[in-house]
Amino acid sequence: MSIIEPDSRHISVLLDELVDSIKIFEDRKNIVVDCTLWLAWHACKIIQKMKPWDLFVWFDADTRNLALAKEKLSFLHSEVEIILIHSNFSELKSKLAEHWITSITGIYYDLWISSLHVDDADRWFSFRANGPLDMRFDASTWKTAADIINYSSKDELEEIIRYYWEEASFRKIADRIIQRRKQEKFTTTADLANFIDEISNYPKTKTKVFQAFRIAVNAELESIKVSITDAIDMLESQGNIFVISFHSLEDRITKQLLKIETRDCICSDLICTCHHTKRLRLHTKKPILPSQKEIDENSRSKSAKARGAMKL
Ligand SMILES: C[S@@+](CC[C@H](N)C(=O)[O-])C[C@H]1O[C@@H](n2cnc3c(N)ncnc32)[C@H](O)[C@@H]1O
Task: Answer yes or no: is the C-beta of 39 below 6 A from any ligand 1 atom.
Answer: yes
User: How would residue 273 be classed by pLDDT, with cut points 50, 70 and 90?
Assistant: confident
Q: Residue 9: inside a domain, yes or no?
A: no
- Asked if residue 298 belongs to a domain, the reply is yes
Same domain, 211 and 240: no
Tell me the pLDDT tens digit for each residue of 17-36.
999 999 999 999 999 999 99
Mean pLDDT of the chain: 89
Q: Residue 85: helix, strand or coil by DSSP?
A: strand
Q: How confident is the model at residue 41 (pLDDT cuts 50, 70, 90)?
A: confident
- Do the domain assignments include residue 19? yes
Confidence of residue 118 (pLDDT cuts 50, 70, 90): low
- Binned at pLDDT 50, 70 and 90, residue 153 comes out as very high
Residues 211 and 224 in one domain: no
- Four-residue CA torsion sign, 287, 291, 295, 297: negative
Three-state DSSP at 280 gives strand
Q: Quickly state the pLDDT bin for 2 (edges 50, 70, 90).
A: very low
Q: In sequence order, which residues have a C-beta less than 8 Å from that of residue 194 and are 6 or more positions away?
A: none
Question: Do both 210 and 87 map to the same domain?
Answer: no
CA of 137 to the centre of ligand 1 (A): 9
Among 90-99, 108-117, 285-294, the minimum mean pLDDT is found in 108-117
In short, whether 59's Cβ falls inside 6 Å of ligand 1 is yes
**Residue 298: half-sphere exposure toward Cβ, Cα within 13 Å:** 18
> Would 54 be classed as within a structural domain?
yes
| pLDDT tens, residue by residue, 160-194 | 999 998 888 889 999 999 999 999 999 999 999 99
> Domain residues for 27?
15-116+220-311
Contact 311, 232 (CB under 8 A): yes
Number of domains the chain is built from: 2
Regarding the beta carbon of 38 and ligand 1, being less than 6 Å apart is answered yes
User: Which residue type does 11 have?
Assistant: I
Residue 243 Cβ contacting ligand 1 at under 6 Å: no
Would residue 135 count as lying in a domain?
A: no
Q: Is the pTM of this model over 0.95?
A: no
What is the pLDDT, as a whole number, of residue 135? 87
Render 141-194 in DSSP notation, one character per residue: SS--HHHHHHHS-HHHHHHIIIIIS--TTHHHHHHHHHHHHHHS---BHHHHHH
Residue 51 lies in a domain: yes
Three-state SS at 281 = strand
130: DSSP letter: -
Residue 217 has pLDDT above 50, yes or no: yes
C-alpha 38 – ligand 1 centre gap (Å): 5
Residues 98 and 148 in one domain: no
Asked if residue 282 and residue 270 are part of one domain, the reply reads yes
Q: Which of 49-63, 103-117, 216-230, 235-249 has the lowest mean pLDDT?
A: 103-117
Same domain, 275 and 305: yes
Phi-psi region of 218 (alpha: psi -120 to 50; beta: other; left: phi over 0): alpha
